[in-house]
Amino acid sequence: MMNRRQLLQTGLAMGALAASPLSAAPKIPKYDVPEKYLPRYVTLRVDLPAYQIHLLPDEFALYWTLPDRKAIRYTCGIGRPGLYEPGEYYVGAKKEFPSWTPTPEMIERDPASYAKYKDGLEGSLSNPLGARALYLFQPGRGDTFLRIHGTDKPNTIGRAVSNGCARLVNDQIADLYERVPLETRVKLYHKMGT
């Protein structure tokens, strides 16, 4: 029997995965992104605890930390000005091909774009949460409605365009999703100068 550390080192998530036949799941295509946006192993300048997510908004970089100051760096899109919410979170839920419903705040901010979806959209590669989503929670607050999720729009990576969530192209969020167990600590850092 593998212990938690061994499971994490093999990239197996501790959280329950949706029970659906493999043939029913849509295939996730590889997205054409610039080479600099591909995930890569890096050595960190600082010693961070292993198996956490750290997001640096000024770099549009999301790091999945590993032992010995190593990490996997993903390039992400972040919340646009006024909607990015730095802080400490944990992964409170994980979903494959999650359904999506705009928040009341999104509908109020931009009714022309979001009111038509008030009843939600079923999960798919092209819905706003994409192929996978990690749901960010805070103690005492519960679900923050912030997500680390997929997108089929590679042109939104490396930009501040979302309603507050962090996004990776669908094939990259699928990779991260398999590595990250429930209860994982997530830190969204402040932007420089704020």
* Each residue's pLDDT tens digit, 56-115: 999 999 999 999 999 999 999 999 999 999 999 999 999 999 999 999 999 999 999 999
- CA dist list (Å): 108 to 82, 99, 111, 145: 15, 20, 6, 16
Q: What is the pLDDT of residue 7?
A: 30
pTM of the predicted protein model: 0.84
- 4-9+30-188 topology per CATH: L,D-transpeptidase catalytic domain-like (2.40.440)
Mean pLDDT over each residue of the chain, to the nearest integer:
87
Q: CA 56, CA 187: separation in Å to the nearest integer?
A: 9
3-state secondary structure string, the chain? CCCHHHHHHCCCCCCCCCCCCHHHCCCCCCCCCCHHHCCEEEECCCCCCCCCEEEECCCCEEEEEECCCEEEEEECEEECCCCCCCEEEEEEEEEECCCECCCHHHHHHCHHHHHHHCCCECCCCCCCCCCEEEEEEECCCEEEEEEEEEECCHHHCCCEEECCCEEEEHHHHHHHHHHCCCCCEEEECCCCCC
Predicted confidence (pLDDT) per residue in 11-55, tens digit: 323 233 333 344 455 689 899 999 999 999 999 999 999 999 999
Catalytic residues: 149, 165
CB atoms within 10 A of CB 1: 4
Q: Which residue has the higher pLDDT, 186 or 192?
A: 186
- CA dist list (Å): 19 to 95, 171, 175: 11, 20, 18
Q: Give φ, ψ of 48 to 5 degrees.
A: -110, 150
Q: How many residues does the chain have?
A: 194
The tokens of 101 are what?
Answer: 């419903």
pLDDT band at 194 (very low <50, low <70, confident <90, very high): low
Q: Which residue has the higher pLDDT, 4 or 158?
A: 158
